[in-house]
Structure 1
Amino acid sequence: MPNQTQLLDTMARTTGEGRGGSVKVNASNSIELNGTSADGQMPSLLTTETTGGGDPGNLTIETGQLTIKNGAQITSNSTGLGRAGDSKVEASSLSLDQGSITSQTTSGNGGNITLSVKDLLLLRRGSKISTSAGTAKQGGDGGSIDINSKFIVAIPEENSDISANAFSGAGGRVDIKTNGIYGIKFRESLTRLSDITASSEFGRQGTVELNTPGIDPNSGLVELPTIGVETKVVQVCDSPGYAQSSFIITGRGGLPLNPTKDIFPNRTVEVGWVSVKPSSERNNAPVTTRTVTTTPERIVEASGWAVNKKGEVVLTANIPAGDRGSWQKDVPCSATHAHQ
């Protein structure tokens, strides 16, 4: 195959009882399947398929980047009584945009899909990865889907699905290993959102296993206490340089723990006390505390006046010698002196 390939209706199809042939595609750079026929009836297709009682062959793709978009499909299906074939993809990145990878049957067991993607698996606008069985409302067990990708990304509202479902048989198995999965989640049955399912409408439910070492599905938000904290702030005068009222709560954020029931919450980290070395082992310099009291200057009422060198009249508390005046009379030292 050339480095970049656009495929239209490439297939290995069997219409009788025999087993279908296998298809293997190897393109070092990229493979792109894009679009449908003008009437929308025939998609760009890479497939192994049977319509009789035989099983279709397997389909293998190895490439750098695989793109399936605008209605294009990769299928390994059986529309008869046979089991669906297996599909295996190895790529650096895999992008589905209105595209699908299916390995399903109308009445037999679903096939297996194995996707090994080094970087990103992207599902957009109703894309499907499906190994469903009994699509004609008949028997057959769902197959298995194994996905190993660094990241898996979908848009929740775009209804892109990863499913291993069945009608009356047992649901299949979905096993996903990834560092991060976004926009798509496990649900018990298909919805209008982006789903991961392994269900059966009338049979035994299948299994879904998500192995995400970068995500802890059991972790949750820290529950805040339900009882509020009663706070009181004293109102004081608004004077510059004077102490002001303040209200401060510190901690991990939000309200402090409820002392009546949250004394030892889950995942509390206990920190032990650290023993301080005796004073003889410390080389710290001694600390001296000295209290300094500042007495403001006392304001004394003026009792006289005087004329300074500039000829200005100055009010004084003590009457100086020289040019002076006073509106207070001298007070005698004693009554005896006053009679002399």
Structure 2
Amino acid sequence: MYRRSGRLQTVKSENASIQKGKITKQGNKKKCQPLSKRQSGIQNQLVLEGVSNPCVLVKTPEKRVETACELSNFEDLRSGKKIVVQPSPLPLSWGCPEVWDKMLMKERKYTHSNNFTQLHPRIQPKMRSILLDWLLEVSEVYTLHRETFYLAQDYFDRFMLIQEDIDKDRLQLIGITSLFIAAKIEEMYPPKLHELAYVTDGACMEEEILQMELVILKALNWSLCPETVVVWLKLMIQMASLEDQPDCDILLPEFSQESYIQVTRLLDLCILNINSLDYQYRVLAAAALCHYLPYEVVEKVSGLTWDVLDGVTDWMAPFVDTVAVCGRAQLKDFIKVASEDRHNIQTHSSYLLMLEEARRRELEHQFLTPPNSTEKPMTH
């Protein structure tokens, strides 16, 4: 299990002890339960106590940067369908059409896939879920932005895709280092190195994190600026909110914070499932919006057609049902975070339990769905 027993709990309790200028007793606060207890029903598979079997750096293959004209068609990773790139949906007042093309080019450049589990036989998909859930909690403790977490998730998944046979005892080191890199890129005041080492409860030393940082940066060829799921979501929901006001400033959020965090909670849950890596980030963000906005609006702001989104929305249905049962997400107040920015702070919920519930619903759906007519047994 992760070596995090009391330290993350201590940091979270200290951060929560001051609200609105008043000191409260820590005993009244919700404690951050150690992963050792939270994993009691989730298979205790991650043991991160030693430093053995160091990662072997695999040289990143050279990738040619494609031009916008070469992006006319590309395949969805799961369905194999061709994704036809529509003209830029961005209003002209938001920038030249090349901005949209460059975003799509990044979508091609920063590739990800769930095939990395085949490269690492000793790593199970649930281990990735547990690690990302822990990173979500660390992000909330240090009031990191959503984009910081999703950058870390992207670094982790892409790094694992170009490595081979990594042991499970290295996962926490790779995960916390990915968050360390992401925070330095995205945050104005990122957590200090010793703080991130502290929350691992001695599993990752500062020197190890610095060494792993160089390994990850070289493996990723210093390509650290993907268009994450949150970037696509924020752009689409902003366009949808300003549909009747095309000349408004894109930098000023016009969407409801309450509505925004409902969609982000769904994406947080989906990203913990390794099968989410089968889809492009833009497709994931658009599919999530389809459950909250009319399809015609999503098609307009995403440039994606229903034949692309259909399968993704079906895959996402058990996750949608799960978050619906849990009720609406609530905005949280954070010390030293302005009210207009609180929706951008990454929050944590009981995602592992929700993930298990979504899996149960998915299995029920597969069991209750009748076979196709061609699959039905012949009667005589």
Shorter-chain TM-score range: under 0.3
Which structure shows the bigger proportion of residues in strand conformation?
A: 1
Q: Report which of the two structures shows the higher radius of gyration computed on alpha carbons.
A: 1
Which has the larger share of helix?
A: 2
- Structure having greater relative contact order (Cα 8 Å, sep ≥ 6): 2
Report the TM-score, using the length of structure 2 for normalisation.
Answer: 0.19
